[in-house]
Chains A and B, each alone.
Chain A
Amino acid sequence: MPAQNLTRSERFYRALLRLFPFDFRGDFGPEMEQAFREQRVHAQRDAGKIGLFRLWWETIAGIFTTAPAEHLSMLRQDVRYALRMLRQNPSYTAVAVLTLALGIGANTAIVSVIHAVLLKPLPYRQGDQLLMLQQRADKVGLAGIGYSVPEMNDYRKQNSTLSSLVEYHSMQFTLLSKDQASRVQTGVVSNAFFGMFGVKPILGRDFTSADDQPGAPAVLLLSYEYWKKHEHADPNIVGKTFQMNDRVHTVIGVLPPVPQYPNENDVYMPTSACPFRSRPQLIANRNGRMLSLFGRMKPQVSLEHCKADLSVISARMIRQHPEAYAKELGIHTAAVSLRQELTKGAAPMLLVLAGAAGCVLLIACANVANLTLARMAGREKELVLRSALGAGQSRLLRQLFTESLILAMLAASLGVLFASQSLKLLVDFTARLTPRAREIHVDGYMLLFALAAAFLTSIVSGSVSALYSRRDLAAGLKDGNTQSTMGRHRVQARDILVVCQVAFSFLLLVGAGLMLRSFSKLRNVDPGFVPQRVLAMTVDLNWSKYVKPEQRRRIADRLLEKIQAQPGVSAAAISSSYPLNPDDIGGGPNQPLSIEGHPLPEGQRAPLSAIRSVSPEYFKALGIPLIAGRVFAESDNEKLPDVLVINRAAARHYWPGEDPVGRRVSFDKGAHWIKVVGVVGDVREFGLDQEPGDEVYVAQAQTPAFASIVVRTSQAGMDMSNQMRRAIFEVDPQTAIPNVQTLEQARNASMASPRVMTDLLGIFAALALAIAAFGIGGILALTVNQRLNEIGIRVALGAKPGDLLTMILGQGMTLVVIGLGLGLLSAVALTRLMKTLLFQVQPTDPLTFLGVSAVLGGAALLACYVPARRALRIDPLRALRGD
């Protein structure tokens, strides 16, 4: 009955019936309406309004209890049927589930990482209000020169946008226990530091302002990791004392596991307990910049507003104290949100990986859709039959979606397994990029994401197959010939899917190829030294024992003598650092200098140079070649005038086209001049991907700066590390050796992130290639099957094998070539996003593009060749008889 002729209550009843499944409604709807109409008439006649009310009540309650049960029973039926279908096609099921599982797993893992690192709010109270102040010297290219105590006090007093401003610096103390000395990385902070971040100790108490008074007893907060690792999570740790350098410190609490920034510390102490920070000279010195400052914005204050406030204060400071802000440095202050600062290193790599993982999932989806379409050709009879038996169109669609959803769910559970297994690898990788890596866990979000990916996948692959099955079924019913109903649009759909797969695979392969090229360039780059068989040790003397330069010089000499006397040592040196030292990542100290005979034009800034203090055998130990003049000798000591060795880059910049040996430079604007005695080769000090900058070496004996020992050994470096440790402890057992590594290890470690990135992209690309090749081969095999008749006729009419091969390969390869073209275009547009990750390789590197095209084309050709070969072996008689 048309709706407009119904009474209001009949319309309402019809609306209620929509709660039942479509099929149920179709079967019983009109009958139910009729029965209800009669019920209503009788109820009104027998009991009036009360009777009607009672009827409505019972009817509505009845529909609300039976409709969900009907849906459920339908779903159960669909699932049972779908499972039977999947069991009957084990190879289809296995391939579909496995490819989807890899796609879903990769995405789940990457998205978990992105969620934890980039999306989740910081694990601090109202983390979006937190910011980091950065005093920059832009004219000399320094992003963070730190703040001095007077500067901090000015910002604290004069700002109007911050509710709190705290300081931080980090230094190393030597912890003396009964067995041996060890280094403790110590954060020195304002007493309000943790309060500002909203971090509460899990044991004991936070610092108070009383702890931060001059002369207060020295107290410590332990980081969670240090407490776990070195104190075995001792619940009674509060009150324990640590002998650090010359002072006894009492533990007052343990911090929760939160990301620590700017660097991870073992313990924290208030500023009054730090021997440098508490020195009156430093407190008064506006140039003593050693602090990092963090602030919390007042509620409702924007970052822009806050920045403006801080720059006003900065400008005022510069006006009031011009002597502390040399014009040529261009000092000013900036602020960045802490969240952005914490994750800036990780974002580009993670986003590229997410893109790659997304591509893999899309390719897998296309593959499953393709498989489903191909399989539906075989199921045509069954589907037509089912629809003839009265299964409604929507019933069949529902069935198709149920099938793909079950596939996707199976894949998702497997994918979560993959993801949780690979997460450790990803955490290790991310930890190099951001302190937030520790927040990555297998959690509810991960499961939620896998579930969402499964739904998305089933919708994508299900709707593709549903869309193209719809029209074909009608045609199938009409003529009943299963061969000819292989509708044209379905063929087109599958062609499009293959083209997409090829295009996405191309994109991924190019990404991986670029990373691989970049990585191999990085690995083959000449670091400027010979890393084989060199042992580098970071050495921390107990500095409270060696206060005077003379004392430090003597202990350094004794240590060096002891090391040089060890068997197997061919050269040894002490130095302020060594190449690729993990402590130096991001660059070492740069010093402005003046060059004799080249006065600085007005307004131009002085050249900057990295400074290394080394003992004579340093160059020999590291294998840095001498280019001109001489290196340091034992005779270059404190009694003689200072001398310098410079690197080739400095020589070229300071004295272009001239001989630098015998020339002089000054670090104090001409008050003292120091002579250059030699030129050595350039070294990539701060990372293999960083071009060597200007570098100046000073002699240890003249400018002592003892922090590491480098040793060239006759055997593999690490074998000798214990021997070296023993030798050092024999000289002074209170020496901490926090880091021992060979320079080959340092070199490998510095390449770790690009290596993992290359590996991950490589895995994704290989996956994509395999899935795509499989897809192309599968499609072609199916086409050959469907064209058996035609091929048989061709053979019978005398077609040569070569012609057949060309025909079939041509069909497959046309799709591949179109896919390659599309992939090429999108790669040109998208690889630019990877620019920051590449070393000495352009994002549109023609060699990579060419190579990838060849690999993909080759794989596709192989995939096409297998089914084509089958076509050649067809017996024309059988094919023609063909059933």
Chain B
Amino acid sequence: MDTALTPAMFQVLLALGDGEKHGYAILKEVEEQTDGHVRLSTGTLYAIIKRLLIDGAIQECRQRPPVEEDDQRRRYYRLTTAGRQVAMEEAERMERLIATARQRHFLKRLKPA
């Protein structure tokens, strides 16, 4: 990746984690997975998509849904292996961060299972 991964980019990668989606579906997914805290606008979303396409983190799907569900104006995107790798690394980084925060008592200790 040429550029640093911003939180919004990370959210988009996460949204694509369970399969390919078109633009509007990504917007909805991001909104849902953050309980409505992160609402991307179309401009921001497509600037991110362009960036991720150039960096090779996502790609456009050649396969399209069945004709009756398809809309020609939509394009579908999915994670590449590299993109998944990037997202995983970011998640691990965050996990380590959280662990440190917990150690230093910034967060409550997890109850033992």
A binding-site residues for B, Cβ under 8 Å: 20, 24, 27-28, 30-36, 38-39, 42, 58-59, 61-63, 65-67, 69-70
Asked if residues B43 and A31 are in contact (CB atoms below 8 Å), the reply is: no
Check B102 for interface membership: any CB of A closer than 8 A. Answer: no
State in angstroms the CA–CA spacing of A141 and B65 once bound together. Answer: 99
Contact partners of B42 in chain A: CB under 8 A: 32, 35-36, 39, 59, 62-63
| A-B pairs with lowest CB-CB distance, top 9 | A62-B41, A62-B43, A35-B23, A63-B43, A35-B24, A34-B73, A66-B47, A38-B24, A66-B43
Which of B40, B73, B75 makes the CB contact (< 8 A) with A62? B40
Asked if residues B71 and A34 are in contact (CB atoms below 8 Å), the reply is: yes
State in angstroms the CA–CA spacing of A58 and B42 once bound together. Answer: 9
Check B50 for interface membership: any CB of A closer than 8 A. Answer: yes
Q: Name 28 interchain pairs, CB-CB below 8 A, sorted by A.
A: A20-B43, A24-B46, A24-B50, A28-B46, A30-B73, A31-B22, A31-B23, A31-B74, A32-B46, A34-B23, A34-B24, A34-B71, A35-B22, A35-B23, A36-B42, A38-B24, A39-B27, A42-B28, A62-B40, A62-B41, A62-B43, A62-B44, A63-B41, A63-B42, A65-B43, A66-B46, A67-B43, A69-B47
Within 8 A of A (CB), among B11-69: 22-24, 27-28, 39-47, 49-50
Residue of B nearest to A56 (CB): B41
How many A-B residue contacts, CB cutoff 8 Å?
60
Contact partners of A58 in chain B: CB under 8 A: 39, 41
Q: How many B residues, CB 8 Å from partner?
A: 20
Q: What's the least CB distance linking A350 to chain B, in Å? A: 52
State in angstroms the CA–CA spacing of A33 and B43 once bound together. Answer: 10
State in angstroms the CA–CA spacing of A310 and B56 once bound together. Answer: 84
Contact partners of A39 in chain B: CB under 8 A: 24, 27, 42
Residue of B nearest to A37 (CB): B24
Contact partners of A20 in chain B: CB under 8 A: 43
State in angstroms the CA–CA spacing of A30 and B50 once bound together. Answer: 14
State in angstroms the CA–CA spacing of A496 and B44 once bound together. Answer: 49
State in angstroms the CA–CA spacing of A24 and B74 once bound together. Answer: 16
Contact partners of A30 in chain B: CB under 8 A: 73
Within 8 A of A (CB), among B60-113: 71, 73-75
Contact partners of B27 in chain A: CB under 8 A: 35, 39
Q: What's the least CB distance linking B64 to chain A, in Å? A: 13
Contact partners of A63 in chain B: CB under 8 A: 41-43
State in angstroms the CA–CA spacing of A39 and B42 once bound together. Answer: 9
Residue of A nearest to B46 (CB): A28
Contact partners of B47 in chain A: CB under 8 A: 66, 69-70
Residue of A nearest to B3 (CB): A73
Residue of B nearest to A17 (CB): B43
Q: Taking A32-B43, A66-B43 as given, write out 13 further A-B residue pairs in contact, using a Cβ cutoff of 8 Å, ordered by the A residue number.
A: A27-B50, A28-B49, A31-B46, A32-B46, A34-B23, A34-B73, A34-B74, A61-B41, A62-B41, A62-B43, A63-B41, A65-B44, A70-B47
Which of A38, A59, A69, A70 makes the CB contact (< 8 A) with B41? A59
Contact partners of B71 in chain A: CB under 8 A: 34
State in angstroms the CA–CA spacing of A30 and B74 once bound together. Answer: 8
State in angstroms the CA–CA spacing of A70 and B71 once bound together. Answer: 27
Q: What's the least CB distance linking A395 to chain B, in Å? A: 15
Q: A39-B27, A66-B47, A69-B47 are in contact. Are A31 and B40 (CB under 8 A)?
A: no
Asked if residues A66 and B44 are in contact (CB atoms below 8 Å), the reply is: yes
State in angstroms the CA–CA spacing of A61 and B41 once bound together. Answer: 8
Contact partners of A38 in chain B: CB under 8 A: 24
State in angstroms the CA–CA spacing of A35 and B24 once bound together. Answer: 5
Asked if residues A59 and B73 are in contact (CB atoms below 8 Å), the reply is: no
Contact partners of A59 in chain B: CB under 8 A: 41-43
State in angstroms the CA–CA spacing of A62 and B43 once bound together. Answer: 5
State in angstroms the CA–CA spacing of A59 and B45 once bound together. Answer: 10
Q: What's the least CB distance linking A35 to chain B, in Å? A: 4
Asked if residues B40 and A32 are in contact (CB atoms below 8 Å), the reply is: no
Query: Which of B24, B42, B47, B73 counts the most A-chain CB atoms under 10 A from its CB?
Result: B42
State in angstroms the CA–CA spacing of A758 and B7 once bound together. Answer: 68
State in angstroms the CA–CA spacing of A31 and B44 once bound together. Answer: 13
Q: What's the least CB distance linking B28 to chain A, in Å? A: 8
Q: What's the least CB distance linking A775 to chain B, in Å? A: 41
Asked if residues B41 and A31 are in contact (CB atoms below 8 Å), the reply is: no
Residue of B nearest to A64 (CB): B43
Contact partners of A69 in chain B: CB under 8 A: 47
Contact partners of A67 in chain B: CB under 8 A: 43
Asked if residues A33 and B44 are in contact (CB atoms below 8 Å), the reply is: no
Contact partners of B28 in chain A: CB under 8 A: 42
Q: What's the least CB distance linking A345 to chain B, in Å? A: 61
Contact partners of A33 in chain B: CB under 8 A: 73
State in angstroms the CA–CA spacing of A20 and B42 once bound together. Answer: 12
Q: What's the least CB distance linking A450 to chain B, in Å? A: 35
State in angstroms the CA–CA spacing of A347 and B22 once bound together. Answer: 69
Q: What's the least CB distance linking A214 to chain B, in Å? A: 83
State in angstroms the CA–CA spacing of A42 and B23 once bound together. Answer: 14
Contact partners of A70 in chain B: CB under 8 A: 47, 50
Residue of B nearest to A63 (CB): B43
Residue of B nearest to A30 (CB): B73
State in angstroms the CA–CA spacing of A58 and B41 once bound together. Answer: 6
Contact partners of A27 in chain B: CB under 8 A: 50
Asked if residues B50 and A32 are in contact (CB atoms below 8 Å), the reply is: no
Query: Which of B28, B39, B41, B46 counts the most A-chain CB atoms under 10 A from its CB?
Result: B41
Contact partners of A62 in chain B: CB under 8 A: 40-44
Q: A30-B73, A58-B39, A62-B40 are in contact. Are A35 and B50 (CB under 8 A)?
A: no
Residue of A nearest to B54 (CB): A73
Residue of B nearest to A62 (CB): B41
State in angstroms the CA–CA spacing of A232 and B40 once bound together. Answer: 69
Q: What's the least CB distance linking A699 to chain B, in Å? A: 95
Asked if residues A31 and B75 are in contact (CB atoms below 8 Å), the reply is: yes
Q: What's the least CB distance linking B53 to chain A, in Å? A: 9
State in angstroms the CA–CA spacing of A24 and B45 once bound together. Answer: 13
Contact partners of B74 in chain A: CB under 8 A: 31, 34
State in angstroms the CA–CA spacing of A34 and B74 once bound together. Answer: 7
Q: A39-B27, A66-B44 are in contact. Are A31 and B39 (CB under 8 A)?
A: no
Q: What's the least CB distance linking A11 to chain B, in Å? A: 16
State in angstroms the CA–CA spacing of A142 and B112 once bound together. Answer: 113
State in angstroms the CA–CA spacing of A32 and B49 once bound together. Answer: 11
Residue of A nearest to B28 (CB): A42
Query: Which of B43, B47, B50 counts the most A-chain CB atoms under 10 A from its CB?
Result: B43
Asked if residues A31 and B50 are in contact (CB atoms below 8 Å), the reply is: no
Q: What's the least CB distance linking A512 to chain B, in Å? A: 55
Residue of B nearest to A34 (CB): B73
State in angstroms the CA–CA spacing of A33 and B74 once bound together. Answer: 10
Contact partners of A28 in chain B: CB under 8 A: 46, 49-50
Q: What's the least CB distance linking A21 to chain B, in Å? A: 11
Contact partners of B46 in chain A: CB under 8 A: 24, 28, 31-32, 66
Residue of A nearest to B47 (CB): A66
Residue of A nearest to B71 (CB): A34
Query: Which of A24, A32, A33, A35 counts the most B-chain CB atoms under 10 A from its CB?
Result: A35
Q: What's the least CB distance linking B75 to chain A, in Å? A: 6
Residue of B nearest to A1 (CB): B73
State in angstroms the CA–CA spacing of A35 and B75 once bound together. Answer: 10
State in angstroms the CA–CA spacing of A42 and B39 once bound together. Answer: 14
Contact partners of B73 in chain A: CB under 8 A: 30-31, 33-34
Q: What's the least CB distance linking B106 to chain A, in Å? A: 31
Q: What's the least CB distance linking A638 to chain B, in Å? A: 100
State in angstroms the CA–CA spacing of A617 and B15 once bound together. Answer: 109
State in angstroms the CA–CA spacing of A445 and B39 once bound together. Answer: 48
Residue of A nearest to B53 (CB): A27
Contact partners of B24 in chain A: CB under 8 A: 34-35, 38-39
Residue of A nearest to B41 (CB): A62
Contact partners of A66 in chain B: CB under 8 A: 43-44, 46-47
